[in-house]
Structure 1
Amino acid sequence: MTKGPHDVPTAAELVAAVRDFLESDVLPAVEGRVRFHTRVAINVLGMVEREIELGPAQAQEHAARLAALGVASDAELAAALRGGRIADDHDLIVALEETVRAKLEVANPGYLVEE
């Protein structure tokens, strides 16, 4: 992976450093409302880290899924579904499941853990 014009640390490394600081230094020192908002900030930074890491590949995979269904965007997919132009078949279900999985991989991968 090329770094581009930016020096180290990368955006992902900066986000991870702030998340680690909040988790290890701030969270133990606060309580109540500030503790809650610190946990929210930690979760948001985790989402940003995962989107930076996974987002480019997920975007390519999503575009390929849409193309396989004969559409170019989510809006076009929704319109095609409303208009009955896409069959409610196995390919559609798999594409939708993969899209939801990709979203969960960023938003909250804990939901993907099999119990």
Structure 2
Amino acid sequence: MHDAPSQKEMIQAVKAFIDNTAMPSLKGHAAFHARVASNVLATVLREMDIRPEAESEEVQRLTELLGTEPGQSAVALNKLLCEQIRSGEMSLTRPGLLSHLKTTTIAQLSVDQPGYSGLKTS
């Protein structure tokens, strides 16, 4: 058994150090960079919490929407979706496409910009 801290715990520790120890004693440009570093770590933590389930759900929606066999990656499925939209084979009149796009966008915003006001109305 490996008792070392998890990746999430290590990131949380670094973020806590930046927020509680380093940032309060910094001024000007250094304080700005510390804030950026803290925000990046917060994004990584949200990514770790949200991304696996969101991506799994995205793959399920895309597999159904595109009528493909299960087992393809989100990257491959999104490439196929883009190709079908570009070619005109798929449009917003396709049942489920608009809902998929909204759901995927909301999941991404939840990671990248959780304070985005539009998330409160979704």
The verdict on a shared fold, with TM-score over 0.5 as the criterion, is yes
**Residue in structure 2 matched with residue 19 of structure 1 by the alignment:** 15
Deviation string 1:19-52 (CA, Å, 9 cap, x unpaired) is 1110111111101111111111001000111111
How well do the aligned residues superpose, as a CA RMSD in angstroms?
A: 1.7
**Residue in structure 1 matched with residue 81 of structure 2 by the alignment:** 77
Deviation string 1:75-95 (CA, Å, 9 cap, x unpaired) is 111111011111313511110
Asked if 2 retains the 8 angstrom alpha-carbon contact of 1:69 and 1:86, the reply is no
Task: Pick one of 35, 57, 61 that aligns with 1:61.
Answer: 57
What is the identity, as a one-letter code, of the residue corresponding to 1:87?
S
TM-score, normalised via structure 1 length: 0.86
What is the identity, as a one-letter code, of the residue corresponding to 2:21?
D
Aligned residues with identical type, % of pairs: 35
Q: Which runs of 5+ in 2 are unaligned?
A: 69-75
Shift of 1:6: 4.8
What is the identity, as a one-letter code, of the residue corresponding to 1:16?
Q
**Residue in structure 1 matched with residue 115 of structure 2 by the alignment:** 110
Shift of 1:56: 1.2
Task: Report matched runs for 1:93-104 at 5 Å.
Answer: 93-104=98-109
Q: Aligned partners of 2:55, 2:2: CA distance in 1, in Å? A: 22
